């Protein structure tokens, strides 16, 4: 059943608008966003799809098609995080409620709404399904409210929802990529200045995401430990480079001169960050030349750094990367996301996608006894809204 039919059957009226908000994968630039670094994500052709219509009351009625669940909440009771019956909002409904809260906090008109949504972004695989949900709802309220806001600002409101309402201390990259994606391009995004521009991916390439099946059990504490180690490195380096605000402010040559003055753990973490920011800059130059092998080499180098210096890999992720290295059509592979599980991302020759995917799945099964879910993706446009022609 398509989403328009599902909406009409659920709410006994046609939808007014249809929204598409893509998931994302980060090609290069891992664990640098909280160090003011630059990243290189891409929106992908897997997305959240939302159908919605405005209502005249203060109530938001939601239907999550994939979960076969419904919920409703009042816009004038968002702080309480409760549904119409006074029960705590289910976790899946907290994301749309958080977006409404953040938009209202920004002084924007948020209308009552009937909405139904579905997604082909795998949940829990590190492709930012929650950010896509947030961006889809923000774009729906923007369209129904008739107010102006550019997509970067829209993404910032979604980040505010995730930080201040959902309670997840995420950076801006996920929401930014879903909102601002450009078809066929990666996005060079400066997390300090928020300046960005699209960079074309080499012709004839495709993105393959391989889900290891391992979930991030240690991610929160380990993430906080690494963030703290980066802060210790900055404090130590400030003795030698006054005015240093973050690891973004020291280049690879300077770091080589000072790194031996750092405690071992802080040195390892900082070395990854400093070199990873440099890798992103080099990767952009490679993409501008259409040099897929060079870009892929930087991906492999980034994985080695995440494994050995930042120490966020797992044996299963290492197996996927090493298997990819020997398969037809490969340019580069590395873990993507926070690590400790989740996915690898691969840049491959599109013409050899079928053989590559088959080889990766078979090899992973043989070496680990586990199944990898593998997704062929292409860089996609960001969020879009259109009127429902049946409405």
H or E element in which residue 314 lies? none
Q: Is the dihedral of CA 303, 308, 311, 317 positive or negative?
A: positive
Coil vs helix vs strand at 210: strand
The sign of the torsion formed by the CA atoms of 262, 267, 270, 274 equals positive
Report the candidate in 133, 113, 114 with the shortest Cα–Cα distance to residue 123: 133
What three-state secondary structure class fits 268?
helix
CA 284 – CA 177 distance, rounded (Å): 17
Active-site amino acid positions: 174
- Number of Cβ atoms within 10 Å of the Cβ of 91: 9
Q: What's the rounded Cα separation, in Å, for the pair 381 and 48?
A: 13
The structure tokens listed for 22 are 């893509």
In 284-355, which ranges are E strands?
A: 330-336, 343-349
Q: By C-alpha distance, which of 82, 55, 58, 80 is closest to 71?
A: 82
46, containing H or E segment: strand 38-55
Q: Which residues contact 221 (CB under 8 A, 6 or more apart)?
A: none
Which of 153, 158, 161 minimizes the C-alpha distance to 98?
161
Tell me if residue 70 falls in helix, strand or coil.
strand
**Can you tell me the distance from the alpha carbon of 122 to that of 140, in angstroms, rounded to the nearest whole number?**
22
Is 134:22 a contact under the CB 8 Å cutoff?
A: no
């Amino acid at each position: 059943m398509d989403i328009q039919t599902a909406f009409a059957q659920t709410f006994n009226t046609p939808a007014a608008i249809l929204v598409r908000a893509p998931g994302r994968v980060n090609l290069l630039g891992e664990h640098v966003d909280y160090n003011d670094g630059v990243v290189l994500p891409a929106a992908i052709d897997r997305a959240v799809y939302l159908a919605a219509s405005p209502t005249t009351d203060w109530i938001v009625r939601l239907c999550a098609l994939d979960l076969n669940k419904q919920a409703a909440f009042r816009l004038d009771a968002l702080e309480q995080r409760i549904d119409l019956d006074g029960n705590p909002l289910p976790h899946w409904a907290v994301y749309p409620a958080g977006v409404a809260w953040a938009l209202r906090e920004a002084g924007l008109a948020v209308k009552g709404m009937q909405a139904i949504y579905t997604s082909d972004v795998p949940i829990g695989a590190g492709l930012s399904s929650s950010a896509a949900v947030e961006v889809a709802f923000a774009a729906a309220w923007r369209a129904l409210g008739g107010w102006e806001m550019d997509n970067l600002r829209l993404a910032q409101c979604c980040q505010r929802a995730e930080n201040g309402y959902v309670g997840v201390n995420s950076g801006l990259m996920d929401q930014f990529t879903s909102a601002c994606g450009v078809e066929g391009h990666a996005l060079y995004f400066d997390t300090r200045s928020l300046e960005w521009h699209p960079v074309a991916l080499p012709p004839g390439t495709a993105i393959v995401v391989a889900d290891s099946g391992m979930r991030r059990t240690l991610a929160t504490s380990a993430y906080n430990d690494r963030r703290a180690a980066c802060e210790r490195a900055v404090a130590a380096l400030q003795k030698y480079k006054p005015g240093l605000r973050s690891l973004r402010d020291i280049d690879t040559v300077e770091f080589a001169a000072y790194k031996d003055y750092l405690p071992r753990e802080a040195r390892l973490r900082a070395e990854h960050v400093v070199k990873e920011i440099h890798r992103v800059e080099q990767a952009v130059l490679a993409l501008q030349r259409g040099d897929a092998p060079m870009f892929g080499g930087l991906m492999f180098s980034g994985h080695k750094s995440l494994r050995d210096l930042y120490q966020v890999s797992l044996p299963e992720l290492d197996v996927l990367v090493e298997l990819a290295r020997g398969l037809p059509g490969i340019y580069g592979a590395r873990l993507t996301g926070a690590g400790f599980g989740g996915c690898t991302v691969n840049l491959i020759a599109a013409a050899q996608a079928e053989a590559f995917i088959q080889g990766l799945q078979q090899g992973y099964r043989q070496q680990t006894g586990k199944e990898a879910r593998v997704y062929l993706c292409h860089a996609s446009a960001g969020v879009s809204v259109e009127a429902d022609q049946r409405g």
